[in-house]
Structure 1
Amino acid sequence: MFDFIWNLASFVLALGILVTVHEYGHFWVARKAGVKVLRFSIGFGKPLITWNDKLGTEYVIAAIPLGGYVKMLDERVEAVDENEKHLSFNSKPVLSRIAIVAAGPLANFAFAIILLWTMYMIGVQSIKPVIGDVEPDSRAFLAGIKADQTLISIAGETVFDWRETTFSLMQNMGEEKVEIIVNDPIEGQIVKNLNLKSWTLDDNVKSPIHAIGITPYRPLITTELAHIAEDSAAKKYGLKVGDKIYLIDGEKISNWPQLVKLIQASANKPLLMTISRGSEKLNIKVVPDNKPTKDGFSQGYLGVIPLASKWPESYISTRQYGLIDGFFLGVDKTWQMVSLSFEMIGNLLTGQVSVKNLSGPIGIAQGAGASVSYGLVAFLSFLALISVNLGVFNLLPLPILDGGHLMYYIIELIRKKPVSEKTQEFGFRIGALVLLLLTGFALFNDFMRL
């Protein structure tokens, strides 16, 4: 329950910030263009807090925190007094209307730059992309990439951590091959050519890194218990934090995956565990709970988290930049995310990326909760990513989104006359249907991942 409340609160906070930025973009440019703004609302439904400024704009914080809107004076929506017609949205030149509509997504991109700029000035601590293992006969294996090597660059782009490695791989999806530079602990820097011909990303792999056959290095996970869940089998049968598991039914336990495999195969079956607790050695009988898989198969569950060894200091890097360098890096990374987002949309349409990789509000909420837990820098990075995605999504040429309005206004600019009301209305209905289907599909994916 705590995780649910934490994720929900983080989601509302993140979405509230990003929607405010997006709508403020529309609001600010509308005011500059001489359009009267009637309402600036964050959220939908019943107003919780309202106030007015001296120009007559009503500001609203509403009950349903799933979006927002800016309501402008517009003769197409309601009757406008003769003396205020020059203040209406529809009376403005088409270039002004284009600027007002485009300002929302552009505000999201500008906000991402500011977030990343701040993040790089604070300092970013990250894990170097050191390879833990390479799957036999995988693309990475065939390229000659080996365990213990560190990735230095992909297609000429330096990568400092696994996140940047993922971005670089996705940016090169569709290429025949890509040049990768690795640092080998014995041979030094080596150039490798990774074959990406016919490479696709489906929902059966965790990430692009795993898809090419690389498992990132992770510190050794011990058989010592670091956390015991409440109302779990481990708690019920007396296991404690700090216990080290050595034997299960007389079988020596040498690593954590071995222990997990035994537990998962023993739902509702008694196991005799030999543990060390301080200077004592104890035998404890434990019956793992049954936690069925998504496919309905029985799976044992103990309710513990192991203690992991510390990261080697040489595997951790900290990057901190000054005012100027941090800004230009923020611009560069934002541009990379914008480009990658559009490329991923293209890859979804061509089938190179499975639509099952789409995430909806639940996935975003989980990401928000996790990023807040990790600290300010992680939350800034998450906000920047979602801000870019929000801006790109709103630029899609669906008539119900900003991109759809821009499409109509660009057509008007070319034709020298507006698109007919009937055509626009039909487009809005189609856009609403497509948006509803996309949202439903993303929510379905979220529920399947729970």
Structure 2
Amino acid sequence: MPTLQPGLPFTVMVFIGVIGTLVFVHEFGHYYVARLCGVRADTFSIGFGREIFGWTDKRGTRWKLGWLPLGGYVKFAGDLNEASQPDATIEDTPLSERKGLFHFAPLWQKAAITAAGPLTNFALAILIYAGFFMTYGKTVTPAIVAAVQPGGAAAAAGVVAGDQIVAIDGKPIASFEAISGKVAVNSGEPMVVRIARGGAVRDLTIAPKVIFETDRFGNSYQSGRLGLLSGRPQYVPVSALGAIPQAVRHTAFVVEASVKGLWQIISGRRSVKELGGPIKMAQLSGQQASLGLPNLIEFVALISINLGFVNLLPIPMLDGGHLFLYALQAVRRRPLGERVQQWAFMSGFAALVSLMVFLTFNDLGSIGVWRHLSGLLG
């Protein structure tokens, strides 16, 4: 089946716009909270490497655009580099000159500044989803089984048409969309499905069937299926006051799915080939943009959530790694040794470089580079 792919110039342009927007939002979260805490910023950069253009504001912050648009950073006063490593001579700074330096800020302010980036990414996603709910409302399908697919996992477990799904793994189910969301990220592990039938409630253990699907662009996806068919969906309008709570719940669901998916990959229940890097993200950006602006905006929300989630992982050099070290410092009631911090920085750097190489290798495979090369060599 032929696939439709947007052109390379279009894909690159959209990707730069998407990643540039999300990086700006993330870094502005750090910058804004730092300003509230009285910490000065020397540099606010979108992209890495040589500066393409920039300007210096009245506070002395250099705002610039780097030639490699794969991230960004805020370098605070007193930092040695973009990873917020303190300058080796920072402790020699006279007391009168320590005001505004990140290194000498109270520990709670450092944690707040660090956490602000990922939290701003989550906030952006919540605002986008809230806008969607207010504009389009919410489609809700009652969690009542309209039909059961013969030979499917649900049929084998004894589910019949008319059953109402009450809960899955102890968590209440209010709609068919919630069933699909929980089952789709399942990689074949048994689930306890509580059903209501004729006034009685019973628990069934069902292992979803894992299937592989290919979308119109040729992307392959693994997902779980119970083999249930839903009834007619119902449109429910969402007010401005109700949009934010709905958006928060939806964002929390995406985070939960990300955590579960990552754990399945770590535990070997999903293939590491499902992990993608910048090339895959660029490809998906172009594909979603080709489907229309609403699809692209929703994709931005999804990537914003994942950017926030990944940055909270306890890996040195990421925000989560810094927060973990701050937590250790709070427990110890004294700063960590310089050698420990240096080791954490180097190990985090090595881990991120290794991960980036691996993801790029995966990306090249997903677009057929290795298959093409093997064909040439063969």
TM-score bin, normalised by smaller chain = 0.7 to 0.9
Q: Deviations over 1:141-171 (max 9, x none)?
A: 423568x99997762334455xx55531256
2:134 corresponds in structure 1 to 121
2:275 is the counterpart of 1:375: no
Contact between 2:20 and 2:69, CA under 8 Å: does it hold in 1?
yes
2:100 is the counterpart of 1:87: yes
Comparing 21-30 with 433-442, greater Cα deviation is found at 433-442
Distance in 2, Cα, partners of 1:352 & 1:6: 35
Comparing 373-382 with 403-412, greater Cα deviation is found at 373-382
- TM-score (norm. length: structure 2): 0.77
Contact between 1:154 and 1:169, CA under 8 Å: does it hold in 2?
no
3-state DSSP class of the match of 1:62? strand
Contact between 1:43 and 1:66, CA under 8 Å: does it hold in 2?
yes
Distance in 2, Cα, partners of 1:159 & 1:49: 51
1:306 corresponds in structure 2 to none
1:334 corresponds in structure 2 to 251
2:277 is the counterpart of 1:360: yes
Q: Percent identity?
A: 32
Higher-helix-fraction structure: 2
Q: For structure 1, list consecutive stretches of 5 or more residues without a partner in the other structure.
A: 218-313
- Structure 2 residue identity aligned to 1:196: A
CA positional deviation for 1:362: 2.3
1:177 corresponds in structure 2 to 191
Q: For structure 2, list consecutive stretches of 5 or more residues without a partner in the other structure.
A: 80-85, 368-378
- TM-score (norm. length: structure 1): 0.66
2:52 is the counterpart of 1:36: no
Q: Deviations over 1:300-351 (max 9, x none)?
A: xxxxxxxxxxxxxx96765542101111100111111122222322222222
1:142 corresponds in structure 2 to 156
Comparing 44-53 with 98-107, greater Cα deviation is found at 44-53
Contact between 2:251 and 2:305, CA under 8 Å: does it hold in 1?
yes
1:45 corresponds in structure 2 to 49
Q: 2:31 aligns with which of 23, 27, 41?
A: 27
Q: Deviations over 1:250-272 (max 9, x none)?
A: xxxxxxxxxxxxxxxxxxxxxxx
1:260 corresponds in structure 2 to none
Contact between 2:277 and 2:359, CA under 8 Å: does it hold in 1?
yes
Contact between 1:356 and 1:445, CA under 8 Å: does it hold in 2?
yes
Distance in 2, Cα, partners of 1:200 & 1:443: 27
Distance in 2, Cα, partners of 1:365 & 1:121: 29
Contact between 1:38 and 1:72, CA under 8 Å: does it hold in 2?
yes
1:67 corresponds in structure 2 to 71
Contact between 1:157 and 1:168, CA under 8 Å: does it hold in 2?
no
Q: Using a 3 Å threshold, how does the CA distance of structure 1 residues 166 and 355 change in structure 2: closer, same or farther? A: farther
Q: Deviations over 1:59-93 (max 9, x none)?
A: 11222211110010126237677443211000111
Comparing 64-73 with 122-131, greater Cα deviation is found at 122-131
1:398 corresponds in structure 2 to 315
CA positional deviation for 1:378: 2.0
2:302 is the counterpart of 1:385: yes
2:358 is the counterpart of 1:446: no
- The within-5 A match list for 1:14-413 is 14-74=18-78, 76-77=86-87, 82=94, 83-123=96-136, 134=149, 136=151, 138-144=152-158, 155=168, 156-159=172-175, 161=177, 165-169=179-183, 176-179=190-193, 193=204, 195-196=206-207, 206-207=220-221, 209=223, 211-212=224-225, 214=227, 320-413=237-330
Q: Deviations over 1:278-300 (max 9, x none)?
A: xxxxxxxxxxxxxxxxxxxxxxx
CA positional deviation for 1:192: 8.5
Q: Using a 3 Å threshold, how does the CA distance of structure 1 residues 158 and 374 change in structure 2: closer, same or farther? A: farther
Distance in 1, Cα, partners of 2:293 & 2:167: 28
Q: Deviations over 1:111-152 (max 9, x none)?
A: 11111111111116879799999574x524423568x99997
Higher-strand-fraction structure: 1
2:345 corresponds in structure 1 to 428
1:278 corresponds in structure 2 to none
Larger radius of gyration between Structure 1 and Structure 2? 1
- Structure 2 residue identity aligned to 1:378: N
2:13 corresponds in structure 1 to 9
Q: CA RMSD in A?
A: 3.8
Distance in 2, Cα, partners of 1:191 & 1:375: 44
Contact between 1:143 and 1:192, CA under 8 Å: does it hold in 2?
no
